[in-house]
Amino acid sequence: MIKNYGRKYNFSSGPSQIPLEVLGKIKDELFNYQESGMSIMEMSHRSKYFYGVQNNAIKLLRELYKIPNNYEILFLQGGARLQFSMIPLNYFHIGRIAYINTGPWALDAFSEAKKVDEKLCYIANESKEEIPIITEKSLIEDTKFLHITSNNTINGTQYQDYPKIKNVTLIADMTSDILSKKINFEDFGIIYASAQKNLGISGVTVVIINRSLLDKANSDLPASLSYISHFNEDCMLATSPTFSIYVLNLILEYLNNNGQIEQLEKNNIVKAEMLYGIIDNSNGFYRGYAKKSSRSRMNITFTLHSEELNKLFIRLAEEEDIINIGGHHKRGGIRLSIYNWISIEDCEKISDYMIRFMESHK
């Protein structure tokens, strides 16, 4: 079957697919945004049009994700990676941050914190194939914050339950699973995610931050690195990444019109169960990397018997327009990234391919 516009079955680990409907809307509005006489990219970020877009995106994100009113939503630049630095810069004055190393992104977050002050951060636990259980005993006394990577994009593991430790504020890098399921915001002090995997395109990073924690941020920083300055300036300290926020808003409208987070979470479960089902029923032909109890619904990682067979699996898939399924270079094997906007149909296509490949190569 040939997809619309010759689009492929794209399982990219990020940037990832955008719903066709959203791409169509972008195309329709590109030359003249809502009778403004120009595209959204060509007008002031302080225009009523762009303010409308930004305010609507904040409102929709709050409604759809059920973000309580005592949390603020910031749209920043610099990727998730800048948050690796902003978090220690804004909060080390309060106390120590413990990091859980569950993969390369988690380790990068720790490495950046170390550059700010290596005495104020440490790795409390680490594990590749499974999410460790973190208790008070895992932490050094006086630890004030715990940083986790809620979904480990490269290893294919994901927290099923979040650690809850008295007097320790949880901070989560949700870049690869934000909005994919309902969460209880009261469990978190800060959640951050760049948009290009589950929320739209690169260029904007969403930071959801508890209001009282925002008030306690370091107010002595250069403005671009300060949560307080960004908040006080409506996130328009520098010219906003207007197009990225515009696409984020369209994605949220799309979700609002397509069953909201309840339906999205259901779809994500169906997609992941479909693919893990094939792995589990393959008699070891497909070997999952992650322990079952820690499996990610977003990144399905596995390997076949040999590197040659992995390569053949990838090459023959490409002949069927199934692309971007090779594992991360640090991990090898196969990785199917099935973020929020990958359709059930796309997962059915790769499932069908996996079954046929197994039949002819076992």
Ligand X SMILES: *Cc1c(COP(=O)(O)O)cnc(C)c1O
Contacts 24+ apart (CB under 8 A), 208-212: 208/65, 208/67, 208/71, 208/72, 208/73, 208/74, 209/71, 209/72, 209/74, 210/70, 210/71, 210/169, 211/70, 211/71, 211/72, 212/70
Q: Note whether 77 binds ligand X by CB under 6 A.
A: no
**Nearest distance from C-beta of residue 119 to ligand X, angstroms:** 24
For the question of residue 48 being annotated catalytic, the response is no
Q: Are 237 and 223 in contact (CB under 8 A)?
A: yes
In the bound state with ligand X, the residue whose beta carbon lies nearer, of 49 and 240, is 240
**Nearest distance from C-beta of residue 212 to ligand X, angstroms:** 26
* Window contacting ligand X (CB under 6 A); options: 39-47, 75-83, 161-169, 308-316: 75-83
Q: Note whether 80 binds ligand X by CB under 6 A.
A: yes
Q: Note whether 290 binds ligand X by CB under 6 A.
A: no
The site for ligand X, by CB under 6 A, has a size of 11
Three-class SS state of 193:
strand
Q: Which of 256, 209, 340 is CA-nearest to residue 63?
A: 256
In the bound state with ligand X, the residue whose beta carbon lies nearer, of 244 and 354, is 244
Q: Note whether 81 binds ligand X by CB under 6 A.
A: yes
Q: Note whether 179 binds ligand X by CB under 6 A.
A: no
**Nearest distance from C-beta of residue 194 to ligand X, angstroms:** 3
For the question of residue 341 being annotated catalytic, the response is no
Q: Note whether 75 binds ligand X by CB under 6 A.
A: no
Residue from 9, 16, 171, 173 touching ligand X (CB under 6 A): that is 173
- What distance in Å separates the CA atoms of residue 164 and residue 83, rounded to the nearest whole number? 22
Q: Note whether 340 binds ligand X by CB under 6 A.
A: no
In the bound state with ligand X, the residue whose beta carbon lies nearer, of 148 and 214, is 148
For the question of residue 173 being annotated catalytic, the response is yes
In the bound state with ligand X, the residue whose beta carbon lies nearer, of 58 and 298, is 298
Q: Note whether 105 binds ligand X by CB under 6 A.
A: yes
Residue from 77, 194, 198, 226 touching ligand X (CB under 6 A): that is 194
**Nearest distance from C-beta of residue 105 to ligand X, angstroms:** 4
* Exposure class string for 267-306: b at 16+ Cβ within 10 A, else e: bbeebbebbbebbeebeebbebbbeeebbbbbbbbbbbee
In the bound state with ligand X, the residue whose beta carbon lies nearer, of 158 and 303, is 158
Among residues 128, 197, 271, 349, the one annotated as catalytic is 197
Specify the DSSP element, H or E, that contains 222.
none
In the bound state with ligand X, the residue whose beta carbon lies nearer, of 241 and 288, is 241
Q: Note whether 190 binds ligand X by CB under 6 A.
A: no
Task: Annotate 257-306 with three-state secondary structure.
Answer: HCCHHHHHHHHHHHHHHHHHHHHHCCCCCCEECCCHHHECCCEEEEECCC
Q: Note whether 332 binds ligand X by CB under 6 A.
A: no
Contacts 24+ apart (CB under 8 A), 52-59: 53/242, 53/245, 53/246, 53/249, 54/234, 54/235, 54/240, 54/245, 54/249, 56/249, 56/252, 56/253, 57/245, 57/248, 57/249, 57/252
Catalytic residues: 105, 173, 197
Which residues lie near ligand X (CB under 6 A)? 14, 79-81, 105, 149, 153, 173, 175-176, 194
